Amino acid sequence: MLTTETTGLENIARTASRMYGISSLKSRLIIEKILNTYKNLSEGEILRRVGEESIFYIGALKQ
């Protein structure tokens, strides 16, 4: 059974993958990394940080 927190994170991951053109799996991994580093972030702050991380991820893929 999914908790509200898990469902919320899945929704954020889905939104981030659509916003930044990365896979849902990659966005979930980035979110986990962010939440291990920072606590009590809002959804907007998480999405912003996912965007920052995805820029580095996409840049590394193009090299």
2-54 pLDDT, tens digit each: 455 668 889 999 999 999 999 999 999 999 999 999 989 999 999 999 999 98
The confidence score (pLDDT) of residue 7 equals 80
Is the model's pLDDT at 61 over the cut of 90? no
Residue 29 has what pLDDT?
94
Backbone conformation region of residue 40, classed left if phi is above 0, alpha if psi is from -120 to 50, else beta = left
pTM here?
Answer: 0.78
- Please state, in angstroms and as integers, the Cα–Cα distance from residue 35 to each residue in 7, 15, 39, 61, 63, following that order: 15, 16, 6, 24, 28
